[in-house]
Amino acid sequence: MEPWPPPLPPPRRLRLRWFVLAFAIVLAVPFVFVGWFLFVAPADPAPYLARIESLEVPPTWEVVHTQALRSFLGSRAERYYLVDAEPADIAPVVEDVLRSAGLEIYDEVAPSDWCDQRPIGATPAITCPRKPIPTCRENGAGGPVSCWVQGFRWLAMAPSLEASVLERVNVSVSPRGDSFDVGVNDQRHQIDGHHRALIVISADRTSARYFWRSPTPAAAMSPGSSH
């Protein structure tokens, strides 16, 4: 008679192999991240900071924080200002500053089908009139006004928008306030606003796909041209 319960089967070597493989993967992950950071990650954000410092902003703009960031998601530089003026009055000044630096102003518009209220896929297609999005908008009906201005400059042209590269300068203007949070990550802190508006200027580089509704399309420029 065979013994009961039957003896356990001998351990399989396959399980040991899977364990060794998993252990090797765990050990390799840190080296992969280090290699990504050293050889694939974005370059030093110093050129973006230099771009911000080259902007000829009014002397009444008080610098309250400057930060350069480098991460796997891309590098950028930011500078924060306090200004004793209303956002709607600051926005035109921002546009002049960016144009003086050789940047084009990005005119944001609504999607081409913004007026089509039919279900998705309805035919025939409707082409809506061009609808510019205002630079300054209320934060809720009757609320305080915030403004956004974007400047850009072509750096590299390619047949596809994804491969074309632009220098981008984003500027946000927040309503007057008594305190603001400035900086990101370990440099994030709160400052006294003294009932002034906060301006944040951010500079980086991006794919032209971000500007697919720009009034200056890539097709209007020849590869290799420079501004």
pLDDT digits (tens, 9 = 90+) for 211-226: 655 545 444 443 444 4
Single-letter residue type at 197: A
pLDDT digits (tens, 9 = 90+) for 11-30: 555 555 666 666 666 665 55
> What element of type H or E holds 15?
helix 13-39
What is the CA angle 99-154-43, rounded to 5?
105
Q: pTM of the predicted model, to two decimals?
A: 0.73
CA distance 206 to 164: 9
Assess contact for 162 and 209: CB atoms under 8 A. Answer: yes
- Please count the residues of the chain: 227
What is the CA angle 72-76-77, rounded to 5?
145
DSSP 8-state symbol, 119: P
> Which tokens belong to 35?
């290699």
